Amino acid sequence: MLSIISPYRYAPFNIASEEYILKGFSEDVFLMYINDPSIIVGKHQNTLAEINLDWVNTHKIPVVRRLTGGGSVFHDPGNLNFSFLMNEGDEQSRSFERYTRPVLEVLHDLGIHAQLEGRNDLTIEGRKFSGNAKTFVYGKTLQHGTILYASQIGDLSEALKVKAHKFSDKAVKSIRARVTNVSEHLSEPLPLSEFVALIRKKVHSLYPEIKDYSYTETDIAAIEQLAKQKYASWEWNFGKSPRYNLSHEFRCKAGIIEIYLQVNKGIIEEVSIFGDFFSSRDIHEFEAALTGLPHNREAVMETLIRMDYRSFFGAVELDELLDAMF
């Protein structure tokens, strides 16, 4: 087994590194990384229904779709992430209990009563501090998890404060739980760097044959390329969302405007507009112009500006229309 601590905090790079390792390494790998503020969504989720898009855009943070299922999580420099990438295929070897054991043992050593609760959550006093997910892909097992150590819980809440009433879909929904930071339960302060060292030491004791490994220049170049092509792309992070419907009604100076979108694989397939506004142009022309576009704020904005959107609705602001569509 190889032990890797990523030197990078860019979420698309670190999520891409898991796929790169699964595809390219013959050895089992234990990986740890810390990301700058970012949102990581599950493979089968509708991204727009999981995030606070306004907050994400304002703070310019990456939103990245991972290879595993489950719910959305917020990462920041107070959040430690760990991955086991193993040459194993049977369900028993892929149990959440097995790969969360090092984390629980370290916390028990620190005097914290933490436990695996439900299927895949680690909790302290009934509050969640770690969510875990797994998959079998490329002939290997990937199980990874987060550890809220000293995360900004307020930012977590804002990042995942969604407007779910807009969306109708069958995508996997995140289950919001009461959360806590590990650092709040320590008897004495412990820097995250020392906690990382304790986790690493525990894993090394459980796998005596383990060896430290640092990414080579070849590794870094390949991971960066994968991150750019896939994990930092709109197509993967938003376009891979399952089919969904969006509906929203709002009032503006022009009157009431109702917007209905059907989206499949990130592409707007059908648009319907209703309301009591007065239009000098056929609204079907507006609907046709949006049909076939990526459900991407920038792409829609460019089209709205180009078609002179006010000629369809009257006194409506561009941001009012865009906010209703996302």
Predicted local distance difference test score (pLDDT) of residue 172: 65
**Chain-centre distance of CA 106, in angstroms?**
26
Sequence-distant contacts of 315-322: CB under 8 A, at least 24 apart? 315/252, 315/253, 315/254, 316/252, 316/253, 316/254, 316/257, 316/277, 317/252, 320/250, 320/252, 321/257, 321/259, 322/297
Predicted local distance difference test score (pLDDT) of residue 2: 98
Predicted local distance difference test score (pLDDT) of residue 161: 76
The low-confidence residues of the chain, meaning pLDDT below 70, are 89-94, 162-165, 170-172, 174-177
Sequence-distant contacts of 91-98: CB under 8 A, at least 24 apart? 93/141, 94/134, 94/136, 94/141, 94/143, 96/120, 96/132, 96/134, 96/143
Compute the radius of gyration of the chain from its Cα atoms: 22
CATH superfamily of 2-237: Bira Bifunctional Protein; Domain 2 (3.30.930.10)
For CATH 3.30.390.50, list the domain ranges present in the chain.
244-325
Predicted local distance difference test score (pLDDT) of residue 163: 64
Predicted local distance difference test score (pLDDT) of residue 183: 97
Predicted local distance difference test score (pLDDT) of residue 174: 64
- The third-level CATH classification (topology) of the domain covering 244-325 is Enolase-like; domain 1 (3.30.390)
For CATH 3.30.930.10, list the domain ranges present in the chain.
2-237
